[in-house]
Amino acid sequence: MIRVVIADDEAPAREKLQHWLSEQADMTVVGSAEDGFSASQCIDRCQPDVAFLDVQMPTLSGLQVAAQLEPSSAPLIVFVTAFDEHAVKAFDLNAVDYLLKPYDRERLARTVQRVRERIRTHQPGAAAVAIGREHSPVCDRLLVPDGERLQLIDAASIEWLQADDNYVHVHTAVRTYLVRRTLQDLLSQLGEQSFVRIHKSTAVNLGSIGSLTPLFKGDYEIHLNNGRILRLSRRYREALFARLGQ
């Protein structure tokens, strides 16, 4: 049985899709959500094989939900929308299909068949998301685990990032969150206009830098506005200086 999650802020749209999917013998809807934040929680909780995501939803768009999925457990993605201008971004994220509203049973049946074929050929959503993140839209907000729930934080509130094997410590002025992602993956999502790597395991928000102090052999100390001192490796010095206009 193929497990499905539906996310759409319009109740009639959710109900229609759920009803038509129920007519497919091998499909079962295990969860639904009415906004992007709830969709992320629902996917994390239900672990579906495929998620039908409306592109335009409150809190997070369907594209942002897909871009923030954990690659090791990401489902296949089908985007659903009334607007065709998001199609390019959707397929950049390696979506299985892009359902344009209003669609009919016949069109949905073709989508379901594509899902079956993707599952049959063992092409999980994880690989699609991991590849597609390189082309995903930059996110100004980030979903992070916070106990039993997921917390939405502003990217601008992140002061620095510290890699720890397959995890990243996300440091804000208030607290630190632990995210199961690689540093490069997270930087790709947050956008390198605001963040820059200063060490193989560390990146910093450019807006958090207060001053720099030279050390020996080309290394520097970076003094953040919050008083913390980080090490700038010589390897990343030129890139940082270029970003700072030097």
Q: Tell me if 68 sits within 8 A of 41, measured CB to CB.
A: no
Percent of the chain with pLDDT over 70: 86
Q: What is the CATH number of domain 2-122?
A: 3.40.50.2300
* Statement: residue 124 has pLDDT above 80: no
Contact 190, 181 (CB under 8 A): no
Q: What is the pLDDT of residues 83-93, one digit of tens each?
A: 766 665 656 56
* Consecutive H or E run containing 21: helix 11-22
In terms of average pLDDT, the best of 5-19, 56-70, 167-181 is: 5-19
What does pLDDT average to over the chain? 85
Q: pLDDT per residue over 139-198, tens digit each?
A: 678 888 787 677 788 889 999 999 988 789 999 999 999 887 888 878 877 876 789 999
Around Cβ 211, how many Cβ atoms within 10 Å?
10
**Can you give the pLDDT at residue 162?**
95
Equal fold, 2-122 vs 141-244 = no
Tell me which of 3.40.1280.10, 2.40.50.1020, 3.30.365.10, 3.30.420.240 is the CATH number of domain 141-244. Answer: 2.40.50.1020
**pLDDT of the residue at 89:** 60
C-alpha–C-alpha distance, residues 76 and 60, integer Å = 18
Q: What is the pLDDT of residue 60?
A: 83
Residue 239 Cα to chain centre, angstroms: 25
Please give the angle made by the CA atoms of 189, 92 and 66, to the nearest 5 degrees. 50
| pLDDT score of 11 more than 90 | yes
pTM, entire model: 0.62
Residue 218 confidence (pLDDT): 84
95 has a pLDDT exceeding 90: no
Helices then strands, counting H and E runs in the chain, come out as 8, 15
Per-domain boundaries in the chain: 2-122, 141-244
